[in-house]
Amino acid sequence: MAGRVDRRQFLASLAAVTVAGSSVIAAGEQTSTPQAAAALKDIRVPRRRYGRTGVDVSILSLGGMFDIPNNQLMLKKALDWGVTYWDTADCYGNGQSETGIGMFFEKMPEARKQVFLVTKSDRRDPAGMTELLHRSLERMKTDWIDLYFLHGVSSTSEITDEVKAWAENAKAEKKIRFFGFSTHKNMEELLEYAAKLGWIDGIMLKYDYRLMQTDRMRKAIDACAKAGIGITAMKTQGGGPVRTDTEEELKLAGHFLAKGYTPGQAKLKAVWQDERVAAICSQMPNLVILKENVLAAVDNNKLTAEDWKTLERHAVATASSYCRGCGHLCESAQGCEGLPIADVMRYMMYKTSYGDLALASGKFRELPSDIRRRLAHGAFENAEKVCPQGLPISEIVQQALKSLA
Ligand code: SF4
């Protein structure tokens, strides 16, 4: 991958942006120096081919779930460092994410052609999708979306012939270039299904150093890669819905910090080592995180066998705090039918792992009131029995009701 740096250059960049004796996590703008700026000036994130689209995208994608109208500098710095794949959705920040991107393109219209722009629809009916697409185009001051996703697909029944016809029509009208979906629930089944369809161009899925190790996921990703579907990983650094400040996290941090990586950088590098993945979409709400991730992207070194063992040991030790998104198991358990357990686990992950209480409670409050009532009075023993991770579902749902409702 062109644009990468070797170990010596990587460490030099880190040294330049890091205060003595501290990790790159601490490398905020406040600690930047002229040397740091010089070291970062020529850095460009590498690119990979996005499935059969023929388009090369930056391997790091800027996730748009932050206050973009008030953080325009983030977009500028992302462009400077070659992070040209931008991801948003009609619903992010109640439309503010797209509005913020539109503000940027209005000021810098020449930037639009550099950006591979992705947005998403929560509607599934053709009329609703058309309405949302037009709203996205208007908000982002653009005539086209590069890749348009159905947002948060959790069942194959959502990928219909109607949707296919809609996508073909939107492509013919040149309003979108490519079409696909995002998913954090029942991913393997959805990938297997999409690989056979022939009209899905891209998929963004929850994918990390844990999920990439399972046989079914490996095969599902393989099937998509062979079918020419571009793959974007997300939630790559996210932990579980339970506590994330444990002894195990400290052990993981200790191993990687000694090598010059933060645990977050190591988790990104693990997924980039899978060449079938074109890009990782990461929420980077400030320059510290953007810089940390950019440095990981340009580092040319592979994780060692010992690094992988450390990640695997960590995955095993923290299994009972991590949700795999296999909602078809717990959500069909007796007494829990139709309850969005996997979603609640994800919202709690936003709170505990991302530290984003506003996002977590915003999502939780979007659940219909009858569902929230059922969650409050639900019995989750049967769901816990089928959960392969052994998650204390009942306890986590209670925490969600208490802290997010
Ligand atoms: S079965 Fe367990 S791991 Fe799978 S979605 Fe449900 S809570 Fe998460």
Residue 7 confidence (pLDDT) above 60: no
Beta carbon of 323 within 6 Å of any ligand 1 atom: yes
Torsion of CA 100, 103, 104, 109, to 10 degrees: 140
Beta carbon of 341 within 6 Å of any ligand 1 atom: yes
SS3 of 339, please?
Answer: coil
Residue 190 C-beta-side C-alpha neighbours within 13 Å:
29
Ligand 1: which atom is nearest the Cα of residue 383?
Answer: 1
Ligand 1 centroid – CA 328 distance (Å) = 8
- Taking the C-alpha atoms of residue 301 and residue 7, their distance in angstroms, rounded to an integer, is 6
Segments of the chain assigned to CATH 3.20.20.100: 7-311
* Binding site membership of 396 for ligand 1 (Cβ less than 6 Å): no
Is 389 a pocket residue for ligand 1 (Cβ < 6 Å)? yes
The CA distance from 29 to 288, in Å, is: 7
Q: Please check the confidence at residue 338 and state whether its pLDDT lies above 80.
A: yes
pLDDT in tens, 265-316: 999 999 999 999 999 999 998 999 999 999 999 998 999 999 999 999 999 9
- Position 34 confidence tier, pLDDT thresholds 50, 70, 90: low
Q: List the residue whose alpha carbon is closest to atom 8 of ligand 1.
A: 323
* Contact indicator for 267, 289 with CB cutoff of 8 Å: no
pLDDT of residue 247: 84
What is the CA(368)–ligand 1 centre distance, in A? 21
Mean pLDDT of the chain: 90
pLDDT number for residue 27: 38
Alpha carbon of 401 to ligand 1 centroid (Å)? 18
Q: Which residues contact 377 (CB under 8 A, 6 or more apart)?
A: none
Q: Where are the alpha helices (DSSP H) in 366-392?
A: 369-377, 381-386
Q: Is 344 in the pocket of ligand 1 (CB under 6 A)?
A: no
Listing DSSP states for 7-59 in one string gives HHHHHHHHHHHS-TTS-GGG--GGG--HHHHHHHHT----EEE-GGG--EEES
pLDDT for the residue 250? 87
Helix (H) or strand (E) holding 85: strand 85-87
Strands 56-58 and 47-49: antiparallel
Q: Which listed CATH number (3.20.20.100, 3.30.750.24, 3.30.300.180, 3.40.50.720) goes with 7-311?
A: 3.20.20.100
Q: What is the predicted pLDDT for the residue at 140? A: 98
Instruction: Please tell me the distance from the alpha carbon of residue 210 to that of residue 220, in angstroms, as a whole number.
Output: 15
Q: How far apart are CA 353 and CA 401, in angstroms?
A: 18
| pLDDT tens-digit map of 204-263 | 999 999 999 999 999 999 999 999 999 999 999 877 777 667 788 889 999 999 999 999
Residue 9 pLDDT grade (very low, low, confident, very high; cuts 50, 70, 90): low
Task: Give the ligand 1 atom nearest the CA of 324.
Answer: 3
Q: Let me know: does 96 contact 125? Beta carbons within 8 Å.
A: no
Percent with pLDDT over 90 in the chain: 80
Mean pLDDT (whole number) for 117-132: 98
pLDDT at 307: 96
For residue 184, the CA-to-ligand 1 centroid distance in Å is: 11
